[in-house]
Amino acid sequence: MGKFLIKRLGQSLGVLFIVTVLVFGVLHLMPGDPIQIYLGETATPEQIEIYTREFGLDRPVFIQYIRWIGGLFQGNMGMSIVFRVPVVDIIPQRIRTTLTLTIPAFVFATITGIFLGVAAAKNRNRFIDSAISVFANLGIATPTFWIGMIVVYIFSLRLNILPVQGFVPLTENFGESVRRLVLPVFVLSLGQIASITRQTRSAMLEVISQDYIRTARSKGLKEGNITFFHALRNAMIPIVTLLGGSVGRLVGGTVIMENLFVIPGMGSLMITAINNKDYMVVQNVVFIMALFIVICNLIVDILYGYVDPRIRVEE
């Protein structure tokens, strides 16, 4: 198991390194001068030169990259060009906002997807199975932003049941915060519900046809115990793998949801920074998102190795 963990950790660090190089390189290849964008068209060459030196953009690209990576190890994420404050002062509150959206979406998608997948498998070739399968296929095929606009139109503009935009911290007003999170959490989780439902149905259909399931039924065990303690438990390996990937898709989906519902999280911060070529903010937001995804995938790999010992043996 030790070799398995070391190899997975090394792969994770390699992924993070590649992400930092790519995001840094792509940003510096984009046309436009971030200082010119920040100061506006009326800026003089002298002003541009002063601000360029202040933010360290006059140094070679390689040196800028080394300084950024070195700063990360010291807790220094640099200075934001747009907000004129250290990036480390901006990100913590944005992370809390994004997690307030992402965690409920993940929990809701996992529970709902597994429940629907089990229900579809237990009612194979019946109406319930067909209805759930149609829902899952539509959920995967339909763009999230389109679903978001539809639910906003129906529940906010037409029925006036839920607020259309805005965010209230849970600690400030729990009830109002939940009201404003219902639509974005629901829309963000739909695609993952569809994927988890399909995977759970396929895994359950494969497991419930095994001999040990028939043996359990012949012994007179309750159907509920057979389903959840025998069948679902053994079907969890591919489901756990999918859940690891769903974390990345949910984090990526927050970029759309936060801008659609005007939520001040990491996604909306990144869009603002990209539009203004705020190098330091974009680099650090992408790095933190990648780090979060890598950690979640590493946890899934570890759980996978424990659930199925053959995986770590093969490594």
Is position 309 within any domain? no
Are residues 14 and 117 located together in one domain of the fold? no
pLDDT band at 108 (very low <50, low <70, confident <90, very high): very high
Across residues 234-254, what is the average pLDDT? 79
Q: Which of 217, 294, 272, 315 is nearest to 1 (CA)?
A: 315
Is position 220 within any domain? yes
Predicted pLDDT at 1 = 62
Are residues 117 and 68 located together in one domain of the fold? no
Q: SS3 helix, strand, coil % of the chain, rounded to 5?
A: 80, 0, 20
Q: Identify which of 27-36, 84-93, 140-149, 160-169 has the greatest average pLDDT.
A: 84-93
Predicted pLDDT at 309 = 59
Domain end (from 275, 293, 310): 275
Task: Give how many domains the chain has, as a whole number.
Answer: 2
Q: Which of 244, 203, 198 is nearest to 227 (CA)?
A: 203
Of 86-95, 98-107, 168-177, where does mean pLDDT reach its minimum? 168-177
Are residues 254 and 216 located together in one domain of the fold? yes
Is position 202 within any domain? yes
Dump pLDDT digits (tens) for 78-96. Answer: 888 888 888 888 888 888 8
Are residues 126 and 33 located together in one domain of the fold? no
Domain end (from 12, 39, 73): 73
Dump pLDDT digits (tens) for 109-124. Answer: 999 999 999 888 888 8
Is position 288 within any domain? no
End-to-end CA distance of the chain: 9
Average of per-residue pLDDT values in the chain: 82
Dump pLDDT digits (tens) for 58-73. Answer: 788 888 889 888 888 8
Is position 133 within any domain? yes
The residues that bridge with 86 in the sheet, in sequence order, are 79
Of 164-178, 191-205, 298-312, where does mean pLDDT reach its minimum? 298-312
Q: Residue 175 burial (CB < 10 Å; 0-12/13-18/19+)?
A: exposed
Are residues 194 and 230 located together in one domain of the fold? yes
Are residues 12 and 128 located together in one domain of the fold? no
Boundaries of domain holding 125:
90-275
